[in-house]
Structure formats: C-alpha cells, structure tokens
Amino acid sequence: MYILPFAGIGGTERHVLALVRNLKQRHRLCVLSPRGPGADMFRSEGVGFYEIMALEFDRNFFAAVASLRSRLDQAIRESGVSLIHVHANIGLALLSRLMTRRHRPAGHRLPLVFTAHGAHEASATLEYYIDCRLANRVADAVICVSGAEAARFRDLGIIPSKLHLIYNGIDEPRWNLSAGQLRSRYGIAREAVVIGTVARLERVKGVDLLLRAFAEAAGDTVYGHRNIVLAIIGSGSEECELRALARALGVADRVLFMGMIPEASACLPMFDIFVVPSRHEAFPLACLEAMAAGKAVIATRVGGIPEAVVDGETGILVESEDVPGLARALRGLVADPDRRRALGAAGRARYEKMFRGSDMAARTEGVYFHVLAGRDSGKGEPAGERSGKDPGDRKIELPGEPEIGRYVTT
C-alpha cells in the first residue's frame, strides 16, 4: 500500500508511479492519496485507488484523520495489505502506524516503510528533525533518495539499521513528437537554441534566477547567437511575478510560459539545454529526465544534484543564487553545440547506468523483502529500538556506483 500526502504531478507522485509501473506485475498494489491531477495516473495503472482527504493541520484535520482511518481499513480489507509505504509526510506514517495496530496478519504488525522526499522551506531543519525522530519510532525502514538526504538523517540520529539510500529513477522516456514538430507547435524557430526548464513556479525552484541569467546571456552580443528562447514548463503561485519579471528584464518576447503539462518530459526533444536552477532540492526527477533524453544539463550545486550531474562531464554545476555564473554557463553552451552534444551523451550513459526506474523499483522491493523477512523471523529491529551502534559509523550503500566502490561512508 502506497500512501501519499498529495496527488499532483510532481516528483514524489512520479516516483511512486514508477514504483507502481515496475512492481504491479509481481505484487498486488494499492494507492491512498487525496484528490488531484495525479490521481488519474494511478487509476490508469489498474491498481486499487482509495481517495483520502488532504492532511492539513489548519483545516479539516479531524475529518482528514477519519478519512484516512476509513480508507486504511477498506484497503486492508479489500487488498490484503501486508506492507505500508508512506511518502513525504511523516505525520501520515505516524497515523498509519497507530491506525493499523489492530491489523496483524499472521500475528505480526504491518511493516511500515517511509521515504523522505526533501524539505525545502524555511522550516526544513525542523522538518528533518521531526521526520528523523518519528521515523525512529514508527518506521521499519527509511529510504532517502540522495546521499545528501541520507547524511542529514544520519547526522540527526536515525537508527543506522533503518537507513537505506535508493536513488530516484525514471522509466525510459518515450516521445510522440519530434523536436521539429514540437517547435512548430509552440511557434519556435527550428534554428533557435532552446533553453528549457520544468518546475513548479515557486521561489524554491529558482526560476527567477534563471530568468535573470537568461536576460544577461541574451543581452550579450559577444557569444554570437542571438536566436535563443527560454521555455518554462510549470505553474505555481509565482507565475504572475515571473511574467512581470520577464517583461521588466526586456526578454518577455523570448520567454515562453508553457503552463502545466502532465507529461512534461514529452517536450524535452525540443530543448537544447536543460536548466535546474533550484535553491533547494532532494534529487529532482526533471534532471534525470533531461539526462535520459540526452540533453546537456546546467544545475545548481544543491541537495543530491551533484550525485546526478557530474560537473564538466555530464553537465555544468553552478552555485545556488549565482546568476552571473549561471549566465556564463548558458553563454558557453549556447555557443558550443559540440559540447552540448557531448555532455548530453555522457548524461544519457549515466542515466542508463544508475537511474533507471526498474533499478529503483528493484532496490525498493529489496527493502520490502528485508523488513518482511525481519518481521517473519522475529529478528528484525522493532520500530523505536536502538541498535546501540553509533550513527556516525553508518556506512550507506550507494547503488550503481561500482567506480567508487560498493560502500561509501557519508
């Protein structure tokens, strides 16, 4: 059973969708989530879907708790649930643990796995602390999607035996339209250099930084390519402000706000350069999708991004908030199509080696088997019981990195 706190079409939802697509032939799966555009994605996969109310402490909290309890009982009764996997919200994990105590298949409590998907706002440090403390009490396993996240949990005192590092992964991209067809649809010249990004239009995603860097690069006559376009896919609360910023910077005629596109990766063929300008990230799927599409990536050196993008080999990394640095990276790649192709090819190879959705699903399935085996043997470490080992001594496995060794101390 997968439980999500929201059902948009962001990274968390697409992460779970990849798990569903790769595991549904081997397991009976069901999904609990609130109503949202992402809910239809799960329904279309033919797995059990149970709608719950969004868990918001400032609105309808008790009604949401009642909704969760009712749907948990229904899903367990109808789908024969033997394991619960909660994503992105430790409060849902705590409630799920409390509400399922009376459901004890074969005399055992239901194992619970929790995957953290990053915290990006001003309260991030507090959120990580709470996640770690509660996960120690209620989760049998904690999955982090990047080494940077795993290190934060380790430093905050997660029980070492619970911690698993499994990189995000995506399925092989498929496109119905060619680059030329996409450019024709959106009114972009075939000879233009298209810089693209896919992001929620919120401050944390740094689209304002990209606009400023694009304006700086577009106004530079030195690098010799005047026909450049910035395509922004996504929606959010800052869209009006970003449109106003593009006008103020004098580049509104070169910036295409494409809105929310459910399968945004379908537009990747028309991009020459893909940018991830985020101020904070865990391990963005959009970056992996661009690599899988063979696109040169420019990204900020935050969160788990440096674990995906190798600076100078598969893309270019710049510091967060460094608009001049981002502008220099844009100018360099706009002027050098050969380097764009080389970086894109290397990124594609790295995707094939490390970030396939099927590999992520297989490793996650391995965690399921691990916690189920521990439950059935009676040798597993119960939630809330410390192993006695120093968390600082924990060695975290980095899957798919044979060139640096099977184990790396973080």
- Do 192 and 310 lie in one domain? The reply is yes
Domain match, 149 and 256 both: no
Residues 266 and 399 grouped into a single domain = no
CA distance 184 to 190: 8
Structure pTM? Answer: 0.86
**Domain count of the fold of the chain:** 2
Q: Which residues of 125-156 are buried (b: 16+ CB within 10 A; e: fewer)?
A: eebbebbbebbbebbbbbbbbbbbbbbbbbeb
Per-residue pLDDT of the chain (410 residues; tens, 9 = 90+): 999 999 888 889 999 999 999 999 999 999 999 998 888 889 999 999 999 999 887 778 899 999 999 999 999 999 889 999 999 999 999 999 999 987 665 556 899 999 999 876 667 788 899 999 999 999 999 999 999 999 999 999 999 999 999 999 999 988 888 999 999 999 999 999 999 999 999 999 999 999 999 999 987 644 445 689 999 999 999 999 999 999 999 999 999 999 998 888 899 999 999 999 999 998 999 999 999 999 999 999 999 999 999 999 999 999 999 999 999 999 999 999 999 999 999 999 999 999 999 999 999 999 999 999 987 555 544 444 434 333 333 344 444 433 322 223 32
Supply the range of the domain harboring residue 76.
Answer: 2-171+358-409
Query: Do residue 143 and residue 103 come from a single domain?
Result: yes
Q: Are residues 223 and 137 in the same domain?
A: no
Q: Is there a single domain that holds both residue 223 and residue 130? A: no
Among 320, 339, 354, the domain boundary falls at: 354
Answer yes or no: do 307 and 366 share one domain: no
Tokens representing residue 157 in the block: 């005192």
Taking the CB of residue 219, how many other CB atoms lie within 10 A of it? Answer: 11
Judge if 298 and 374 occupy the same domain. Answer: no
Same domain, 46 and 63: yes
Identify whether residues 290 and 249 lie together within a single domain.
Answer: yes
Query: With DSSP H G I counted as helix, E B as strand and the rest as coil, what are the percentages for the chain, rounded to 5?
Result: 45, 15, 40
CATH code of residue 115: 3.40.50.2000
Here the tokens at position 393 are 């001594």
Pairing of strands 395-397, 407-409: antiparallel
